[in-house]
Structure 1
């Protein structure tokens, strides 16, 4: 296998096809109804990663092209988060304001973390380092935004009477929504908190393994993974905070006034 995590040969194709089939069949037999979604996701991931791998061969040698690629990642993350929060397709009316609102927690969560890491010199300012770090942090901010926003939407729909009761008692709209929103939004941080708490005891995440396979020492691998985990946690807390405030102020979802 050498220094690679996997051997890129026919065996990889067979295993990927088998794993996709396992997930799709399980989705059908379980009654979850996600078999088609699994097939589409697997196909998209295959095509996208093939294209991205080819593009990165060119992009990583230029810091400007790397920055443009990071901007593309932010754009896709924003569109994904906006759809998850509102439950509306991208082409539906009012897409512009929804995207602008969803961009705030994604960028607000990722930018301070990536900026601090790069400004400190901890990660070298070159494409091969900037793109992976930015991608990990942007992805974490997107996931936190999507999860918190979707849970807030469901909870506000289910408990809208409590918000209206708080309004009737004279509380401002923002405070009325936050009474319901804050406890629910906090549950979006359970996955990153659990991942950070159990690292090394349950799993050895990708950054740790990648540094080891790249020839780094276990100490270097641990340091890299710690940087990623703490950075992700910071980005996701900021993202959840931002999307909660946006929802409470009626910038993302309609709330009682």
Structure 2
């Protein structure tokens, strides 16, 4: 039989689960708006009902799992867990961005390395300047925001660059025939791809606080922080997102454009033959 102390510790061990289930009441109640969306989809014959239900179920499952994982990592006094979590996020982001630019040779590798370079450099600067302490509670959420934005920008950059070169193949081939290097012939396409991919990030920075309150700022305010403290963190977040996204997108162009050409400085036609 268990003595009193053992029973007490066992009860304490399960308190976190009871608190978690109690806290899930409101998220479950919020499913009402999803059911409304499902009903509207059905009434309009959109055929999105199954995808909506699957998406929200997957989000619930993923967030619940990552919540337990983060709770475990936050309780560990080991920086190795930070690196492991960060590399996992970069791997998933690289795969996802590579899927968007699936016609770019070694797209997943290029995206992964680009995201790793951009976010690592940005994170290193923030830690060195003591903007954030190197602890799981700060680094993992911050890294997640940077990796997510870098993933989106990198995927768009790679896809757009490849599509633009395909649309202007004759112009590129003419420039190559006149003696231009591959980098010179695709300079305008690279610029266009970067401008298009980075524009949403820059537009978001221009309108932040005017149209909507970003997630980090909203979370702090709802958590009890003063608006002034919230905007200080949000300014840091916007700066790091622009920095990481810019480095990652530029890096992706340098890594992927050589695959568009042969060693003889000719277009690699098989890269542009499929869609």
**Normalising by the residue count of structure 1, what TM-score does the alignment of the two structures yield?**
0.82
Matched residues in 1 for 2:65 and 2:151: separation? 21
Deviation at 1:36, TM superposition (A): 6.4
Q: Which residues in structure 2 correspond to 1:1-257 (within 5 Å)?
A: 8-19=26-37, 21=38, 29=46, 40-62=54-76, 63-87=79-103, 97-250=106-259, 256=267
Deviation at 1:24, TM superposition (A): 5.5
Cα 1:74–1:218, aligned 2, differ >3 Å: closer, same or farther? same
**Structure 1: which 5+ runs fail to align?**
1-5, 89-93
Cα 1:226–1:178, aligned 2, differ >3 Å: closer, same or farther? same
Secondary structure (helix, strand or coil) at the match of 1:201 reads coil
Cα 1:242–1:253, aligned 2, differ >3 Å: closer, same or farther? farther
The question of whether the paired residues in 2 share the 8 Å contact of 1:81 and 1:143 is answered with yes
The question of whether the paired residues in 1 share the 8 Å contact of 2:260 and 2:267 is answered with no
Cα 1:9–1:168, aligned 2, differ >3 Å: closer, same or farther? closer
Deviation at 1:195, TM superposition (A): 0.6
Q: RMSD between aligned alpha carbons?
A: 2.9
Matched residues in 2 for 1:253 and 1:188: separation? 26
**Structure 2: which 5+ runs fail to align?**
1-23, 269-275
Cα 1:178–1:42, aligned 2, differ >3 Å: closer, same or farther? farther
Deviations 1:39-75 (A, max 9, x none): 5544432321121112111112223223211111011
The question of whether the paired residues in 1 share the 8 Å contact of 2:110 and 2:256 is answered with no
Superposition misfits of 4+ residues, deviation over 6 angstroms: 33-36, 251-255
The question of whether the paired residues in 1 share the 8 Å contact of 2:101 and 2:107 is answered with no
